Structures are given as C-alpha cells and as structure tokens.
Amino acid sequence: MELDPVFLSRLQFGFVVSFHAIFPVFTIGLASYIATLEALLYRTGNPVYERLAKFWTQVFAVVFGMGVVSGIVMSFQFGTNWSDFSYASANFLGPILSYEVITAFFLEAVFLGILLFGRNKVPRGTHLFAACMVAIGTFISSFWILSANSWMQTPAGTELRDGVFFVTSWMEAIFNPSFWPRFFHMALASFLTAGFVVAGVSAWYLLRDRAVVESRKALGMTVVLLAIVAPAQLVVGDIHGLNTFEHQPEKVAAMEGVWETQEGAPLLLFAIPSMEQERNFLEIGIPYGASLILTHSLDGEVQGLKDWAAEDRPNMPIVFWAFRIMVGIGMLMILMAFVGAWKRWRGTLWESNATLRVFSWMIPLPFIAVLSGWFVTEVGRQPWVVHGIMRLEDAVSPSLTGGMALFTLIGYITVYAVVFTAGVYYVTRLIRKGPEAIEVETPATGGHPKRPMSAAGSAFDDEMPQPSGR
C-alpha cells in the first residue's frame, strides 16, 4: 500500500493543532479571570479573592506550560512537512510570527514570572500590573496567530509571483477580510471556555461541601459573565458566518449541507451527506431557514456545492457535523448561562443540586465546541492551503515520503499522549486539592522562575484534603 504524504501531513498537523488549541483557548480566558481576581483583591483586600487568584494561577501555570510545549513543534512541521508553503509564504508569515514573539512572548516572559512568584515579594500594584500584562499578552498572541490564519482563509494584500507571495499592502494582509470576525469569535470562545471550567469546578466543590465561600464567589461571578458572553457569541458567530458566506461560499454550502444552488434553502437540523452520490439522506430541516439566516430573505439564493468541481470541494460530512456539534453546544451554553444567572438573581443557585451537577458535567463541552469550530474552519478551507491560490499538494515538502510522515505522526501521538496524560493528571490533582488548601498572606516557597510549572506547588503524591462540610 502506498502512503500519501499529503494526507498524512494533514492528519499530523491536524492532530498537533487540535491537541495544542485547547490549551491557549483556556489560558487566554483564564488569564483575564485571574487579572480580574487580582484587581478585586487590590481594591477590597478580601482574602477570598487572594485564595481564588492563587488557586487558578496554579492551574494556569500548568496549562500554560502544556500549551507552550505542544505548540513549539508546529513551527518544526512547517519546515519538515510544508516546506514549499513555508518558502512561498515566508514574506508574510515570517514577519507575522516574529511579531508574535516580540510583542506577546516577550511580554508574557517578563511578567509571567512576577505573576507566578512575585506575590508578597513585589508591591501589590506591581503584581496586579503583571497579571494584567500576562492577560494582554495572551490576546496579542492570538491577534497575530489569527491574522496569519485568516490570511490563509481570505488572502489579501499579497500577490503570487513565480511561486512566492509578495506583500503589496501590510494593512490589507494583516487586517484581511475575515480577520476581525475570527478574532472576536475566538476571544469570546476563550471567555466561554474559562468561564464554564471555573463554573463547573466551583459547582463540583459545592456539591461536595468544599471551599463553599470561595466556590460561591467564583460561580456567582462566572454565571453573570456567561450570561453576557454566551449570547454575544451567537451574534458574533452570525457575523462570522455572513463573512464566510461572502468570501468562502463553498465552505458555507458544506456547513449547510446544500448540494444544489437554490432559493429558499432549508436549515437542515439532521442529514447524512454523501460525497459519492452528491446528495443527503434522512434530511430534517426548517423550510427557508438557511436562506433567511444567510441572506436575511426567505427567497435568498444559497450556492450549492455542485457549483464547484469535485476536486475543489471541502469534505461536506465532516464540516456539516462539526458545525452542528459546535452550534448545539453553543445553544446549551446559552441556556445554562441564563439558568445560572436567573437562579443567582433569585438566590437559589447554591442550593440547586441539579443545576450545579449540570455545570460540573459541562466542563469538557467548551473544548469540544472549540475543536469542532476549528474543524469547520480548516476542513472547510480544503483543498486549499491558501484559499483559491495554493493547493495542498503544492505546499507539501517535495522530499517527504509517506513513510516519513507516518513515522513522525506515530511519534507525535506517542509523545503527546504522555504529555497530555501527565498534564491532565496533575491538573486534576490540583483541582482535587482545592482552594481551601491555599495559604493566604504567606510567601510562596520552593518555586523557581526557570521552571514556571513549579508555581503550581503540588507534588504528584500530595495528600488530598477531606470535605469540611457546608
């Protein structure tokens, strides 16, 4: 059997990105939450905020470290698997990625050490400033990464000459047509991810009568945030969808399961798309729904995927179902955000075991939603690496063989499985210890700035605390 280096390279990069993406999307939102806690601590001096800030900073240190480690290899993959793409796009992507290092990584590197090890060693205002700088650094990093990715989706400000992209307008290239919808969509996804994790962990503590004061404070803060952010994400997602409909209509055709160009296209709730037969099976839909959402008219025209040659179409089944998983989880988030805010306003949230239990069950869902959305974005762009200009087979390294790609893919899966297992195990132990194990007004000992994860301050074999009762 002949191994396809293009397919295996896509599989390898997709695996690495999927593994990596769940960490930054969590730490971006969590860094802002920690900065908020530090600001409240600075203003009120309430030790509850200090205990929460210390606890979530420990979690942040571990997850941030895993995100950095898992992301480094992607830069190597550009050289090993996608050297032709790297050469062709170097005039734009090279500076963009270096800007991320200079503006974001340097900022985070300077202030992360103060955040992790500076409490009680630097003035409180300086520590708060460091927390804010780390939070801002995470957004600056996402700004450059999303600019680079959006350029691959909707290229602008460049022209291809002799197989090399030359920048004709930096402003048009950086702020390409799909950049702002993607940036705000990802920013809100980060807030939702961190918010539902904090809410779920706090609910888990309350169900076990642990860290009651801290958990009530954390859950009360996050349900208010979620009640604002979750519906806002629906609005931004709609704007993002309209932008995609304008610039990548074949992706929207795959998202909506539309094969034939039609007016009054239905909004399909369920279908089984077949790429071979170019049709759907077992369709269940809302008449005129897709046309109404995409064109704001019941009779609006939606292009079908058959308008593109078979070799230029994205994989409809993957895009179709990934989109529905993302939207379904998003709707559940909005419902639970409103339920949580309503019960908090009524003063019944803390005693509602059913609501607390649902929040604790929802901890994995924002990560699944983020990955589903990422699949929609990236699989929907295929078979292009730079949409409409450069195909995948023109981007892969010429010397790469299928055997080499398979060997490194197995290596990545093995190493990442070990890293992921160890990281999740350690974060789980931190959460099981809980904020009640945190000492306040006591300088941290034993950490070292050269080892950021040592700020977590917990050994693998530490004893777990017992429930103290509500």
What pLDDT does residue 445 have?
46
Q: What value does the mean pLDDT take over residues 269-284? A: 94
**pLDDT band for position 292 (cuts 50, 70, 90):** very high
**pLDDT band for position 370 (cuts 50, 70, 90):** very high
How far apart are alpha carbons 394 and 110 in whole angstroms? 40
What pLDDT does residue 323 have?
96
Please state, in angstroms and as integers, the Cα–Cα distance from residue 223 to each residue in 185, 216, 229, 262, 356, following that order.
19, 11, 10, 42, 11
- At 154-212, the pLDDT tens digits run 999 999 999 999 999 999 999 999 999 999 999 999 999 999 999 999 999 999 999 99
How far apart are alpha carbons 385 and 378 in whole angstroms? 9
Phi, psi (5° rounding) for residue 313? -95, 140
Tokens of 69: 């480690």
Q: How wide is the angle at C-alpha 148 spanned by C-alphas 83 and 307, nearest 5°?
A: 85
Task: Give me the sign of the Cα torsion angle 208, 211, 215, 217.
Answer: positive
Partner residues linked to 284 by β-bridges? 270
How far apart are alpha carbons 234 and 244 in whole angstroms? 15
Q: What value does the mean pLDDT take over residues 121-131? A: 93
What pLDDT does residue 450 have?
54
Give the other-Cβ count within 10 Å of 417's Cβ.
Answer: 11
Tokens of 294: 């995409």
What pLDDT does residue 443 have?
45
**pLDDT band for position 101 (cuts 50, 70, 90):** confident
Helix (H/G/I), strand (E/B), else coil: 448: strand
Identify the CA nearest to 195 among candidates 225, 217, 231: 225
Residue 436 DSSP label: G
Partner residues linked to 301 by β-bridges? 263
Helix ranges, 347-401 (H): 353-361, 365-381
Q: What is the mean pLDDT of the chain?
A: 90
How far apart are alpha carbons 219 and 205 in whole angstroms? 10
Name the residue with tokens 């046309």.
291
Burial status of residue 428 (CB atoms within 10 A of its CB: 0-12, 13-18, 19 or more): exposed
What pLDDT does residue 68 have?
83
What pLDDT does residue 457 have?
55
Q: Is pLDDT of 77 > 90?
A: no
Q: How many whole angstroms from its chain centre is CA 409?
A: 22
**pLDDT band for position 446 (cuts 50, 70, 90):** very low
What pLDDT does residue 43 have?
94
Tokens of 308: 């593109």
Q: What value does the mean pLDDT take over residues 396-411? A: 91
Helix ranges, 118-177 (H): 124-153, 170-174
Tokens of 22: 């769940």
The helix (run of H) or strand (run of E) holding residue 262 is strand 262-263
What pLDDT does residue 440 have?
64
Name the residue with tokens 């080892």.
451
How far apart are alpha carbons 200 and 318 in whole angstroms? 29
Can you point out the beta strands (E) in 133-179? 158-161, 164-167
Q: Which residues contact 439 (CB under 8 A, 6 or more apart)?
A: none
- At 432-443, the pLDDT tens digits run 888 876 666 544
- At 16-61, the pLDDT tens digits run 888 888 889 999 999 999 999 999 999 999 999 999 999 999 999 9
How far apart are alpha carbons 272 and 416 in whole angstroms? 33
What pLDDT does residue 448 have?
54
Q: What value does the mean pLDDT take over residues 283-288? A: 94
- Kindly report the length of the chain: 470
Q: What value does the mean pLDDT take over residues 118-138? A: 92
How far apart are alpha carbons 241 and 245 in whole angstroms? 6
Q: What value does the mean pLDDT take over residues 109-136? A: 91
Instruction: Say which range, 170-174, 201-205, 331-335, 451-455, has the weakest mean pLDDT.
Output: 451-455
Partner residues linked to 160 by β-bridges? 165
| b/e per residue 379-400 (b: at least 16 CB within 10 A) | bbbbebbbbeebbbeebbbeeb
- At 224-272, the pLDDT tens digits run 999 999 999 999 999 999 999 999 999 999 999 999 999 999 999 999 9
Using left for φ > 0, alpha for ψ between -120 and 50, and beta otherwise, residue 71 falls in alpha
**pLDDT band for position 307 (cuts 50, 70, 90):** very high
What pLDDT does residue 451 have?
57
What pLDDT does residue 161 have?
94
